[in-house]
Structure 1
Amino acid sequence: MELKPEQLVAQLGLDQSSPPPLRPAYLIAGPEPLRVLEAADAVRAAARRQGISEREVFEAEGNQREPDWNALEASFRAPSLFASRRLVELRLPSGKPGKEGAEVISGFCADPPPDVVLLVSAGEWSKQHGGKWSEAIGRIGQVAIAWAVKPHELSDWIERRLRTRGLKADHAAVQSLADRVEGNLLAAAQEIDKLALLSDGQVLDVERMQALVADAARFDVFRVVDAAMNGQGAQVSRMLAGLRAEGEAVPALLGMVVLELQRTATLARVQARGGNLAAEFKAQRIWDSKQPMYRRALQRHVAPRWDAFVAQAGRVDRIAKGRMRVGEEPGDAWLALERLLLAVAEPRAARLLSAARSG
């Protein structure tokens, strides 16, 4: 049976003095990174509570497109070196193990070693991703899918999370927070954690909520860039319109835009030459919860295009400051910035950059 990540966390019994024993395998996948990360963290925490101190992680590295399936299969059958049981993690950003990987996973599930708990996590998932391998996990373990929270579900999600933090809020206050975070679960989680520190234990009404919570729904540059990286073109346009209406200046926004484009261009070059992308994420201090966003962006564009985006950001800056090079035509800096970020979000919009350069 497919669970929600929150249901899996509850099943693991982290708040119980005698939690149930871990099952042989878990699959946690979906397009909502925060929910995937927290459910996987709950499995890791449950493993530690049950004395599982040894942990192995398998994922694609270097010029490999897939994990080393032979090494994974060998690990399943090898005895634990330092502990009686091990947690073996398999990370599949695309959610597709391929034929060989599916056979290895299915083979594990057919005869799970008593000293291994398998945790498979994936950053992408749809009805087409599953197969015999995921069904095999479901038969001996648990499958939890972190579907994106729909707009009409956000208030309930926020209310449940408030309760887990020992907070109470009336319906209007919950809706106020939902309106502010605009579907960004990470922003909502951060604000709720802040409320847990600042609240006096009373039921939160709208006035108190607004006094305690920063305006997380403000159309700031961080969320604009995230929307572009996540392929959300419509949100990019709407947020930029909000920033412009608030009187923001394009040069003030470009610092973060250029930083993220340069960072992604570096990641793209590492990936293109078959380097260790996981190590580069670590070097750039990109958290696990943010990595799926970059991986999705890298799938949309090849490395040279990311370098072109960085160059285009320089052109936007020159337009905004009126410092055009010889042969360059002046233009609307806001329009140029929108075209750039829409091209990041949607490969088909790259033609808009050509229009911007010519107009």
Structure 2
Amino acid sequence: MRLYPEQLAQHLQAGLAPCYFIYGDEPLLKQEALDALRHTARTLGFDERSRFDADPNLDWDAIFSESQSMSLFSQRQIIELHLPDKLDKTASERLRELLKQCHADLLLLVTGPKLNQQQQKGAWFKALAATGPVIPVFTPDARHFGRWLTQRLQQHDMSAEPEAIQWLAYAFEGNLLGVNGEIEKLTLQALPQPLTLSALQHRVQPQHQFNPFQLFDPLLQGKIKRACRILLQLRIEGVEAGMLCHLLARELSTLQQLQLGLLSGQSFSQLASHFHVWSSRQGLMQSALARLPLAKIQQLQAMLAATDRAVANFDDDQAWRWLHSICVGFLDERLMVITP
């Protein structure tokens, strides 16, 4: 059963499942989900809590012993287990054994990182999903961030005008912890409702935040202004140009292979399956392929090679100029003069 964070409160009104798996890369939503589960568990008499990390040094026997032990003063307990980025075969098998030990006086809270589609097909993930709800926690993307902000303000008995919501979404994109802190500060100021753009701009300092992977979807969509904004913010946040080179090389290689396959008469669906393009990204790839012929992709690869040389020569400014030129180059099929 898949359960989203905004559905958790209603779910808990009906009681607790024996196990929950919370996974993803959004720290605020993950912490809030854990806090809600812990609070509900305490009201139901789960007074003891133990935490374990599923690293190579974990003593799984200690967890099994803990799961079957009963304290003199407490008969219900919570065991929290944090999973690493990758789960080896032994850990996968022991986790599935642990899930079979769940009973009415034990609540198992499992947390983990963001998972790819292959990991979600693993036996251990399927076992978790069969035992209790799985709760993915991700940062809302630009399309849904405004709605998330509106709901978050409503939770604090506040509202905001549409242009104020739009400004908040721009000012805090990718940084839920930051905007949540600002909203909590605003609740203490008893401001007139709905909040106006002017009121927010005078009281709130923008704190948007991005990760390198957020650069690629706007590029594939041809949203170059947004991509350049993300690129600038990544530089401000200290992301290394070399890391972006590595990630861009992978994206351009995939585009090149797909375009070559299309030119040879293969269907996109066959190519997407062969090159393991996620279904959620296939539309983005098709959009880019329709806009970027093979010659343009090859030119972008040549520009990326120049970026790599700048990185190797420790010319950071030149590397970032090349990266900006590459972003602009995703706009359409026109070839560019290769001078950043």
Above 0.5 in TM-score?
Answer: yes
Q: What is residue 341 of structure 1 aligned with on the other side?
A: 240
Q: What is residue 167 of structure 1 aligned with on the other side?
A: 158
Q: What is residue 113 of structure 1 aligned with on the other side?
A: 103
Bigger drift between 102-111 and 178-187 goes to 102-111
* Shift in Å, 1:232: 6.8
Bigger drift between 98-107 and 162-171 goes to 98-107
Question: Normalised by the size of structure 1, how large is the TM-score?
Answer: 0.59
* Shift in Å, 1:93: 3.2
Tell me the secondary structure at the aligned position of residue 36 of structure 1.
Answer: helix
C-alpha spacing 1:3/1:201, structure 2 compared with 1 (3 Å): farther
| Equivalent in 109, 122, 135 of residue 126 of structure 2 | 135
* Shift in Å, 1:52: 1.5
Distance in structure 1 (CA, Å) of the matches to 2:245 and 2:60: 33
* Contact 1:343 1:352 survives alignment (8 Å): no
Bigger drift between 25-34 and 41-50 goes to 41-50
1:1-359 paired onto structure 2 within 5 Å: 1-13=1-13, 20-60=14-54, 64-65=55-56, 67-80=58-71, 82-94=73-85, 96-130=86-120, 131-200=122-191, 202-217=193-208, 227=211, 237-239=231-233, 341-343=240-242, 352-356=310-314
Tell me the secondary structure at the aligned position of residue 154 of structure 1.
Answer: helix
Aligned partner of 1:103: which letter? E
Distance in structure 1 (CA, Å) of the matches to 2:51 and 2:154: 33
Aligned partner of 1:167: which letter? M
C-alpha spacing 1:5/1:68, structure 2 compared with 1 (3 Å): farther
* Contact 2:150 2:160 survives alignment (8 Å): yes
Tell me the secondary structure at the aligned position of residue 110 of structure 2.
Answer: strand
Distance in structure 2 (CA, Å) of the matches to 1:350 and 1:137: 43
Tell me the secondary structure at the aligned position of residue 195 of structure 2.
Answer: coil
The root-mean-square deviation of aligned C-alpha atoms, in Å, is: 3.2
* Contact 1:31 1:125 survives alignment (8 Å): no
C-alpha spacing 1:22/1:80, structure 2 compared with 1 (3 Å): farther
Unaligned runs of 5+ in 1: 14-19, 218-222, 244-256, 258-337
* Contact 1:24 1:118 survives alignment (8 Å): yes
C-alpha spacing 1:189/1:138, structure 2 compared with 1 (3 Å): same
Query: Residue deviations 1:83-127, cap 9 Å, x none?
Result: 111100000131x43333333332333342222100000122222
Aligned partner of 1:105: which letter? L
Provide the aligned length of Structure 1 versus Structure 2.
246
Q: What is residue 250 of structure 1 aligned with on the other side?
A: none
C-alpha spacing 1:111/1:65, structure 2 compared with 1 (3 Å): closer
Q: Percent identity?
A: 31
Distance in structure 1 (CA, Å) of the matches to 2:88 and 2:313: 40
* Shift in Å, 1:42: 1.4
Aligned partner of 1:112: which letter? C
Tell me the secondary structure at the aligned position of residue 22 of structure 1.
Answer: coil
Aligned partner of 1:93: which letter? P
* Shift in Å, 1:40: 1.4
Distance in structure 2 (CA, Å) of the matches to 1:85 and 1:357: 60
Distance in structure 2 (CA, Å) of the matches to 1:103 and 1:357: 49
C-alpha spacing 1:86/1:201, structure 2 compared with 1 (3 Å): farther
* Shift in Å, 1:137: 2.9
C-alpha spacing 1:198/1:146, structure 2 compared with 1 (3 Å): same
* Contact 1:77 1:113 survives alignment (8 Å): no
* Shift in Å, 1:231: 9.3
Tell me the secondary structure at the aligned position of residue 169 of structure 2.
Answer: helix
C-alpha spacing 1:58/1:356, structure 2 compared with 1 (3 Å): same
Aligned partner of 1:342: which letter? A
Aligned partner of 2:312: which letter? S
Distance in structure 2 (CA, Å) of the matches to 1:231 and 1:162: 25
C-alpha spacing 1:237/1:91, structure 2 compared with 1 (3 Å): same
Distance in structure 2 (CA, Å) of the matches to 1:75 and 1:240: 44
Question: Normalised by the size of structure 2, how large is the TM-score?
Answer: 0.62
